[in-house]
Structure 1
Amino acid sequence: MGHLRAGAPPVSDRGIIIDLFAGGGGASTGLAAAVGRDPDVAMNHDPVAMAVYRANHTRTICLPEDVWTTPPRKVVRLVRRGTRVWILWASPDCTHFSKAKGGKPREKKLRSLAHVIVRYARDVEPEIICMENVEEFLDWGPLYEAGHVMPDGRVLQVGDKLINTPIPERAGEDFELWRGQLELLGYRLEWKILDASRFGAPTRRKRLFIVARRDGMPIQWPTPTHGPGLLALHTAAECLDWTIPVPSIFGRKRQLVPKTLWRVAQGVRKFVLETPTPFIVKVNHGGMEDRSESIDAPLSTVTASRRGHALVAAFLAKGYGGHASPGIRLDRPVDTITTQDHHALARVELCTAPLGHNRVAEVRAFLTTYYGGGSEGQRLDTPMRTITTKHRLGLVTVAGVDHTIVDIGLRMLEPHELLRAQFGRYADGYDLSAATSKAAKVRLIGNSVCPDVAEAVVRANVGAEVAGRRAA
């Protein structure tokens, strides 16, 4: 391999860049930051996703098509940059690999989407292939089918709940086949689980990243930039819009379901009643504003108002994860953003002068029912929850001052807040307006790749390419 000659094209012009399964454009946003320009082509069968993508990546050719219906060579011919494919990024649907799918049947068609990467590798030979998926992709293997004989001799019949679920003892077979096909085409593969929060995103989203190269250059992995001994992790609090009102859980026309109330109560227990340093926000009486108190600094002056609300403790409640997941603190990164609306901001209003407040009794009754009374029960083989006497239910000490809980509020996070968690510093100005419903926006965000991680992965390997070419 020769030296870079004078006048050689910059790294951003080394060939065509394609983003398959492009969604709303998270991977492309990070990729563009790494190489200095948007991808040449983006493809996704969802017209809403492509509309959002097009609004934010105006120089990219957007194809709202099924990846199987347009041949790779035809895609390449759409680009006037030439025929050499430099980078292929692919994020095939991960739903039917994820453990979050539980015991639900998998769809074979969706599980086979990764094979399109082999098709591109064979037909247009990208120099670098980057893929993102859930960790369970490594366990990709055959599914039970009707007629399968179980170890006990039972033959699976149509309608059996096991049909189209993974065969445990054959986990990983299809992944190894897929990997072998790429290796036969001249690619060397490596993979790693990366946590988005370690690269600057305000979410703990962990995903599998696979890098494949056929250009002889080494595969490189980015070094984390955030975490212990590095830059501070970005937090959930940075993502929240504190101006949005958080309505009380009491007196709603449509009462919250018991499971939600239980999770809220457990969050209050864990993040307010039992923590010596609850996350405190100053009250703005028309809503909430982002004036969180540092736990390392003295508490600012506590003022009384007509209603007596001096402080608000806050945390994120979660609508998934089972009973072991009451929520997260706001001074930590957000947990993984999914395609469903699962995260909610819980506010706990604290007051130093509760006498006469008509909601104190409701709060204490609520805590007694869903925490003190333990409506969900207590396992006998686990440590008992902290015992509090009834008269202390709802009493919180902040910086040595006792406060009483006078109200509890809850609201679901809005799309622009979820976008901040997923896209981090790239969220400002990112246009989601082409997705006209909240559900569509949440789905696109949950399906997206965190740009911070995509940038880090591509930059590490583009940097290795440039360094290698110069040293050759």
Structure 2
Amino acid sequence: MKAIDLFAGAGGFSTGAKMAGIDVVWAANHWPAAVAIHAQNHPDAAHACQDLHQANWQDVPAHDLLMASPCCQGHSKARGKANGNPQHDASRSTAWAVVSAAEYHRPAFAVVENVPEFTRWALYPAWCAAMDALGYALTPMIVDAADHGAPQHRERLFIVAARAKHPIMLDLPKRLHVPARTIIDFDAGKWQPIEKPGRAAATLRRVHAGRRAHGDRFVMPYYGGGSGLTGRCLSRPLGTITTRDRWGVVDGDRTRMLTAQECRAAMGFPEDYILPAAHRDAVHMLGNAVCPPAARDVITSMLAAA
């Protein structure tokens, strides 16, 4: 089976498809740095660097599976219109590229990934109606990457579209949770003393609360809610990996942020997966990526149910 990957980014969807035995033949993204990384890791695929609103679908090879992770920022609670996201409306419209590609190629299947808030988009019913008009029955589901072997909790919407009269029913496996301690290397990274001049009082409060709850070793976020007040024990999966440094590791009287390699492991990418040399770019791409183990299980279950 052959697949294409729209909005491919760092290549999480492509990697998950490869894990499921799928041959990814074409991938596209608008960011040259992401296309370069995808090409290094998936050299057998053809690549395009372009705005997919302007894509000429006749230039795209034939395929059986269309994978797409349209821009999520306009839907996300973290960067929606209320938060002044200047790309709010433009980012939402990227979902129509999926309809455009499906209309031209009519692959047997499509799998779309986005944040759960995608279903609250005012045009989501119209988007579903467009896919229905093309003959696709949709199966939406919320998938937590932790249930599929990735050591982080990351809830995402997956929509499986099949050219069929009725939606297919997927029997997704539920795997054992992988604890955060399995991906943290206490001999790596740039450690700093917790007690140092200029350390924010809020950070110190989180450290002290985390020590009371979890002992000398734990992780904690540097912004946002959730585990912000008490940290998170290492026997649990991490919270969601985001597009900027979020999770700090505390070890006794020292602390540091997760390395890019640890973020890669938290996302479920292989150890040898090539990342950008710049830490900031690597974290940004990983935070935007599809979790490969979740994509693998969705695609594998889709094929089994078809």
TM bracket (short chain) = over 0.9
**What's the CA shift for 1:217?**
7.6
Contact kept? 1:246, 1:346, Cα under 8 Å: no
- 1:258 corresponds, among 201, 213, 223, to 201
**What's the CA shift for 1:233?**
1.3
Cα distance in 2 between the residues matched to 1:333 and 1:222: 23
Does residue 440 in structure 1 map to residue 277 in structure 2? no
How is 1:45-444 mapped onto 2 (pairs within 5 angstroms)? 45-76=30-61, 83=62, 85-101=63-79, 103-106=82-85, 107-141=88-122, 174-215=123-164, 219-226=168-175, 232-244=176-188, 246-251=191-196, 255-272=198-215, 313-322=216-225, 325-326=228-229, 327-348=231-252, 408-423=253-268, 426-432=269-275, 435-444=276-285
Cα distance in 1 between the residues matched to 2:29 and 2:226: 36
Larger C-alpha radius of gyration, 1 or 2? 1
Cα distance in 2 between the residues matched to 1:19 and 1:271: 41
- 1:461 corresponds, among 290, 302, 305, to 302
The secondary structure found in structure 2 opposite 1:114 is helix
Contact kept? 1:29, 1:38, Cα under 8 Å: no
Count, aligned residues: 301
Unaligned residue ranges in structure 2 (runs of 5+) = none
Q: TM-score, normalised by structure 2?
A: 0.93
**What's the CA shift for 1:37?**
4.0
Cα distance in 2 between the residues matched to 1:436 and 1:114: 30
The secondary structure found in structure 1 opposite 2:58 is helix
Does residue 40 in structure 1 map to residue 21 in structure 2? no
**What's the CA shift for 1:179?**
0.6
Cα distance in 2 between the residues matched to 1:410 and 1:58: 38
Contact kept? 1:129, 1:213, Cα under 8 Å: yes
Cα distance in 1 between the residues matched to 2:218 and 2:26: 41
Contact kept? 2:146, 2:237, Cα under 8 Å: yes
Q: TM-score, normalised by structure 1?
A: 0.61
Q: Tell me the C-alpha RMSD between the 2 structures.
A: 1.7
The one-letter code sitting in structure 2 at the alignment partner of 1:138 is T
The one-letter code sitting in structure 2 at the alignment partner of 1:74 is D
**What's the CA shift for 1:410?**
1.2
Give the structure 1 partner of residue 10 of structure 2.
Answer: 24
Give the structure 2 partner of residue 229 of structure 1.
Answer: none
The secondary structure found in structure 1 opposite 2:111 is strand
Q: Note closer, same or farther for the CA distance 1:58–1:220 as it changes in structure 2 (3 Å cut).
A: farther
The secondary structure found in structure 1 opposite 2:94 is coil
The secondary structure found in structure 1 opposite 2:244 is coil
Unaligned residue ranges in structure 1 (runs of 5+) = 1-11, 77-82, 142-173, 227-231, 273-312, 349-407, 466-472
**What's the CA shift for 1:261?**
2.1
**What's the CA shift for 1:124?**
1.4
